[in-house]
Amino acid sequence: MTKAPEKLAFALEVNSKLNALIEWILENTPNKESPLHKEDFAEVQEEFRKIACGIDAQKTEPEPSEGGAQYVNVTPAPWP
Domain residue ranges in the chain:
4-66
pLDDT for 57 beyond 50: no
Q: What dihedral angle (degrees, nearest 10) is formed by the CA atoms of 32, 36, 37, 43? A: 180
How many Cα atoms occupy the beta-carbon half-sphere of 14 within 13 Å?
17
pTM: 0.58
20-37 pLDDT, tens digit per residue, is: 999 999 999 888 888 889
- Asked whether 43 and 77 are in contact (CB, 8 A), the reply is no
